[in-house]
Amino acid sequence: MKKENPIFTPPELVADWQALKRTFIMPENDSGKAKLVKYMEQILFGLHDFLKAHVGITEEISLKDLSKNFMDTRISKNPQKKLADVITDLIVDIAPHAVNVASPYFIGHMTSAIPFFMVHLKTIAAALNQNVVKVETSKVVSVLEKQVLAKIHRLIYNKSEDFYNEHVQDTQTMLGGFTEDGTIANLTALWVARNVLLAPKDEFLGIEKEGIHAAYKAYGIERCVILLSKLGHYSLKKACGILGIGNQNVITIDMGNLKNIIKEIKLDKKTAIMAVVGIAGTTETGTVDPLYKIGEICHENNIHFHVDAAWGGPTLLSEKYRHLLKGIELSDSVTIDGHKQFYMPMTCGMVYFNSPHVLDNIVYHSNYVNRPGSVDLGMKSLAGSREANSLILDSALKIMGSGGYALLIDHGIETAIKFAEEIKKRKNFELITAPQLNILTYRVFPHSLKLEPPSKELNQKLNDINRTVQRLQREAGKSFVSRTTLNDIVVLRVVIMNPMTNINILNEILDEQEEIYERNKDCDCDPQ
């Protein structure tokens, strides 16, 4: 890696008004145009070819060493680089030290290769540079966004033709919204749930206006809680911290006991249940909660039922596997991420609501935009300025069809099942959680240790082995699985979403893990 010297300015680079203005105008002559297209070619193929030739997952260099090249905190007065050099530097210096998430050997996180056309679609959104907070900076894109939201709402809730005809372009109602990511989608859903629970009544103007302290007084309570599935994402705790509920009031439960737990909490008149959150594809194991059952219980008890389907939502596009999410249609709100199994570029979250009116509980107006009665989508949204992610999702749905997405979903689930079988067959491994969707966890469990009786010490030993194997494999740079901890067991976690990841590659990854274990079993490695 070249050492940067940011204060050096090539003599020809001086901030100049005429040159600067030209960067705001598209060149009209052929050579100017050709240059800009050439840069795009570099970005599309130079990047790809370089990564392919030189890098597996990432080049082996520690973060600490890397960071030594990123110490200078001055902004140069004069330009330091031309676009061409910036692009070259990104390809040669940055990309090899980034993470090649597109590799079929990168199976550790919910980030993967994306179809190449997604890059084109993102480029279009950037070139149009619409701001969807208001119609005056987006016009048709606001209308298109409403349509896309209705399409996904229909996928989830499947209401009548009349319902969608009425609401798809109704400026008074909203079926959902785009957010930066799943965390903000979850936060939005719980924000709505909080405001519905503690709505205006009598003299009380509602929690949004008066705050929690006044709200609890008006409702005669001292605490709100959320009941969350055991492997729920940490963003739900964060959301409750932000919303002023207190994150210790997120109670993680076994959903099998939901009915009894609700009954018990209801005995305490000072505590209100703000929401029950079920997960459709937990981050760590891909588990799906019994959504139908939860939905029924929430209906009976009149409790907001939120489904975090950030991961699993697109499973609804697969005719073969959509039954795994049965009951999602009983929910009051749903989170789905576009940058996960819709294969969109970073980032795109979405939140959907069963009722088209419920977002009224978080409406905000102002004088210069979002005036009452306008079509401005920013009125009922946590964020203000937003990019036109709906353009990307809409185009992707047209290019892929639900059938195309279904092929990806089916491949992920079926490859995960095959992989689980392979793990069970191998003598040096143990499957920890079988895949319900396309995520599974397992660990290296050397044959020789399987004869030992289970003990805390043995588990500790296995934990160290798995930490070491995961780290050394990551550092070797060819493959990447992630690790997490389930009930004190350190596990290797695999997410299968890349269509190029097949059972042969997965076997190679297991082989490498076995080799790493064998090579290091007698060394006193630092497991971190």
Q: Which of residues 368-427 bind a copy of itself (CB under 8 A)?
A: 368, 370, 375, 382-388, 391, 395, 397-404, 406-408, 411
Residue 355: phi and psi, rounded to 5, are -90, 130
Smallest separation (angstroms) from a copy of itself to the CB of 324: 19
Give me the DSSP letters along 163-215: HHHHHTT-TT--SEEEESSHHHHHHHHHHHHHHHHT--BTTB--HHHH-HHHH
- Residue (192 or 297) nearer to a copy of itself, CB: 192
Residues 9-48, one symbol each (x = binds a copy of itself by CB under 8 A, - = not), give x---xxx-x--xx-xxxx------x--xx-xxx-xxx-xx
Per CB under 8 A, the segment of 297-305, 359-367, 426-434, 504-512 that binds a copy of itself is 359-367
Per CB under 8 A, the segment of 152-160, 289-297, 420-428, 458-466 that binds a copy of itself is 152-160
Report the distance separating Cα 158 and Cα 145, nearest Å: 18
Contacts (CB under 8 A) with a copy of itself, residues 182-221: 182-184, 187, 191, 205, 207-214, 216
- CA 494-313-384 angle, to 5 degrees, is 110
Count of residues in contact with a copy of itself, rule CB under 8 A: 181
Contacts (CB under 8 A) with a copy of itself, residues 54-113: 58, 63, 66-68, 70-83, 86-87, 90, 94-95, 97-99, 101-102, 108-109, 111, 113
CB of 272 within 8 A of CB of 219? yes
Contacts (CB under 8 A) with a copy of itself, residues 242-261: 242-249
Q: Tell me the three state secondary structure of residue 239.
A: helix
Smallest separation (angstroms) from a copy of itself to the CB of 448: 28
Report the distance separating Cα 442 and Cα 510, nearest Å: 11
- Residue (59 or 514) nearer to a copy of itself, CB: 59
144 contacts a copy of itself (rule: CB under 8 A): yes
Smallest separation (angstroms) from a copy of itself to the CB of 78: 5
Secondary structure letter of residue 247 according to DSSP = G
Residue from 103, 173, 218, 237 in contact with a copy of itself (CB under 8 A): 237
Report the distance separating Cα 453 and Cα 65, nearest Å: 43
CB of 478 within 8 A of CB of 394? no
Report the distance separating Cα 330 and Cα 336, nearest Å: 16
Residue from 55, 103, 105, 130 in contact with a copy of itself (CB under 8 A): 130
150 contacts a copy of itself (rule: CB under 8 A): yes
- Residue (81 or 418) nearer to a copy of itself, CB: 81
Q: Which residue has the tokens 């605490």?
A: 223
Question: How many CB atoms are located within 10 Å of the residue 424 CB?
Answer: 12
